[in-house]
Structure 1
Amino acid sequence: MTALPPHVAIANHKGGVGKTALAHGLAVAAAEAGHRVLAIDMDPQASLTRRLRAQISPNPDEHLHASLAHVLERPAVGEIERILVPCGYGGIYSDRIRIAPSHLDLELVVRSAAQAASERRLLRAISGVVDDFDLVLIDCPPRLLCHLTDLAWTASDVLLIPCEGEYEAVQAARRVKERVIADRDTLNPKLEIAGMVVSRYRANLTLHRQRAVEMEKIVGKEGMCPIRLPEYVSFKKATENARPLAELGSEEKQMASLFRDVYKWSRDRIDTVMKEAA
């Protein structure tokens, strides 16, 4: 592991493509590999916060104060540490995964967008804190041109793009690449796209195979994760119930194994991209 862990944003310009599922699956797989994970939920819908069973107060005021929405108003260096809570699964997951929980009021952070260096607030908040982790995962909102995305990308080394085999999802992924290129000099000169992970894949559908070819044209053959995550109804049930896949039925355990493979590929690919960019 490196002295500073890779900061990985999970992003696409479209909702429902498996963005939070990928963030969740990678966090759990990393913990199973013995790695310590900082999971940052930058989506006001707080799906990652819920799926990891973040141990947050049921009191609305206390929850707000102990969320990213409060920290990012005007963060001190390393302030995110005060809101970090463990994953609620128990065992290795609680020991190895810490969550910076989201809140609906995170949407209001946009009010600070016009202030000088406001896009660096997340980077400031995590400074120093990340030294205790092996991986930082940032789950982005499903919007491209928004202040929360700016915050996430400014604090990231690389992007991973989840994408299902549908026209709109592929076009949204292409927009992500276009924005990285267009705003690299002003937002984050070091930001790179590590690759793309195909989600909700049906190998028996010609359309999905064709879309996978289109995805490869966006990130290149080396940027395409060779493991394609299938669409299992049981997997959706697992995420809805907020439980680790490895502790459920046979289909969920198979998906857990696939996520472990995706995590291994992702770490190898991220290391390669970061070395080439250095």
Structure 2
Amino acid sequence: MTRVLAVANQKGGVAKTTTVASLGAAMAEQGRRVLLVDLDPQGSLTFSLGHDPDKLAVSIHEVLLGDVEPDTALLETPEGMTLLPANIDLAGAEAMLLMRAGREYALKRALAKIGDRFDVVIVDCPPSLGVLTLNGLTAADDVIVPLQCETLAHRGVGQFLRTVDDVQQITNADLVLLGALPTLYDSRTTHSRDVILDVVDRYQLPVLAPPIPRTVRFAEASASGASVLAGRKNKGAMAYRELAAALLKHWKSGKALPTFTPEV
């Protein structure tokens, strides 16, 4: 059965795109058929996986509006994943979807046509709480919230959690919030630990393990058009592989995901 995982946070710069690309690559390494969905008009995921958003013949924009079949927009990545790409046209799709009935279900309808080809679908939601993010959450089985371990990281988390609750009440009763994923984590600083403890205390959110460490490798990977896992052994890649393995085990057997509690 295909699992759909949304990676979402309305705040930008929290490593959503890195998380999607890295988890996808790690699951592809495990032999899973992986589809990555770029739902961000900035096209960051598309660009970071080696495709120029400005040169796409078709993209998720046309798919969500029902102008083309989903499989006509699919692209392959060098790491064995399939990508449903995005570009700035998607900003227009958001405006057009607002005028349509059932607008929150556009992605779910599209994935229903191609989902059986994949074991895992991972959705990179935009840094907003608009109709595109609602599409991602409505189509998903599970959602992870990347959270950078820096001041003001929790701003907007409460609003995002209310959005998840609304989705569970209205468009997707089966959506499961798996927890927050600490990113840009530096175990040497009390600041990183304090941010996580504050989020746990404030929102009673599970914090997933392992935390993703801060590393320059992520920026280098995006610039090279590949995920951080490609040909590299570093702390970031190892952390994402560990999380991917835990997710696959959780989906297969129901085994609880490991959680993280920073040492005080």
Which residue number corresponds to residue 22 of structure 1?
Answer: 19
Per-residue CA deviation, residues 179-232 of structure 1 (Å, 9 max, x unaligned), is 111342223222221122110001111111011112334354xx3212111111
Residue 258 (structure 1) aligned with residue 247 (structure 2): no
- 1:173 shift after superposition: 2.7
Which residue number corresponds to residue 38 of structure 1?
Answer: 35
Which residue number corresponds to residue 236 of structure 1?
Answer: 219
Report matched runs for 1:77-88 at 5 Å: 79-87=69-77
Per-residue CA deviation, residues 61-107 of structure 1 (Å, 9 max, x unaligned), is xx2x510111111257xx211211100x2xxx23xx11001010101
| Letter aligned with residue 30 of structure 2 | A
> Which moved further from structure 2: 134-143 or 169-178?
169-178
CA distance, structure 2, for counterparts of residue 153 and residue 261 of structure 1: 24
Q: Does the 8 Å CA contact 1:81/1:126 hold for their aligned counterparts?
A: no
The structure richer in helix per residue is 1
- Residues 117 and 100 (structure 1), Cα distance of their counterparts in 2 relative to 1, 3 Å cut: same
Aligned-partner SS, 1:44: coil
| Letter aligned with residue 196 of structure 2 | A
Q: Which 5+ residue runs of structure 2 have no aligned equivalent? A: 257-264
Aligned-partner SS, 1:190: coil
> Which moved further from structure 2: 133-142 or 150-159?
150-159
Aligned-partner SS, 1:128: helix
> Which moved further from structure 2: 150-159 or 237-246?
237-246
Which residue number corresponds to residue 171 of structure 1?
Answer: 155
Report matched runs for 1:150-161 at 5 Å: 150-161=134-145
Residue 135 (structure 1) aligned with residue 120 (structure 2): yes
CA distance, structure 2, for counterparts of residue 48 and residue 107 of structure 1: 15
Q: Does the 8 Å CA contact 2:14/2:148 hold for their aligned counterparts?
A: yes
Q: 1:73 aligns with which of 30, 48, 65?
A: 65
Which residue number corresponds to residue 8 of structure 2?
Answer: 11
> Which moved further from structure 2: 253-262 or 15-24?
253-262
Which residue number corresponds to residue 51 of structure 1?
Answer: 48
- 1:147 shift after superposition: 1.2
Aligned-partner SS, 1:26: helix
Which residue number corresponds to residue 90 of structure 2?
Answer: 106
Q: Which 5+ residue runs of structure 1 have no aligned equivalent? A: none
| Letter aligned with residue 17 of structure 1 | V
- TM-score in terms of structure 2 length: 0.87
| Letter aligned with residue 263 of structure 1 | A
- 1:57 shift after superposition: 8.9
- Residues 74 and 201 (structure 1), Cα distance of their counterparts in 2 relative to 1, 3 Å cut: same
CA distance, structure 2, for counterparts of residue 35 and residue 238 of structure 1: 22
CA distance, structure 2, for counterparts of residue 57 and residue 254 of structure 1: 29
Aligned-partner SS, 1:245: coil
Residue 201 (structure 1) aligned with residue 185 (structure 2): yes
- 1:13 shift after superposition: 1.3
Q: How many residues are treated as equivalent by the alignment?
A: 253
Q: Does the 8 Å CA contact 2:7/2:143 hold for their aligned counterparts?
A: yes
Q: 2:169 aligns with which of 171, 177, 185?
A: 185
- Residues 127 and 114 (structure 1), Cα distance of their counterparts in 2 relative to 1, 3 Å cut: same
- 1:113 shift after superposition: 1.3
CA distance, structure 1, for counterparts of residue 159 and residue 59 of structure 2: 30
| Residue identity (%) | 27
- 1:168 shift after superposition: 2.5
CA distance, structure 2, for counterparts of residue 73 and residue 266 of structure 1: 31
Which residue number corresponds to residue 103 of structure 2?
Answer: 118
- 1:247 shift after superposition: 4.1
Q: Does the 8 Å CA contact 2:60/2:86 hold for their aligned counterparts?
A: yes
Q: CA RMSD in A?
A: 2.3
Q: Does the 8 Å CA contact 1:194/1:273 hold for their aligned counterparts?
A: no
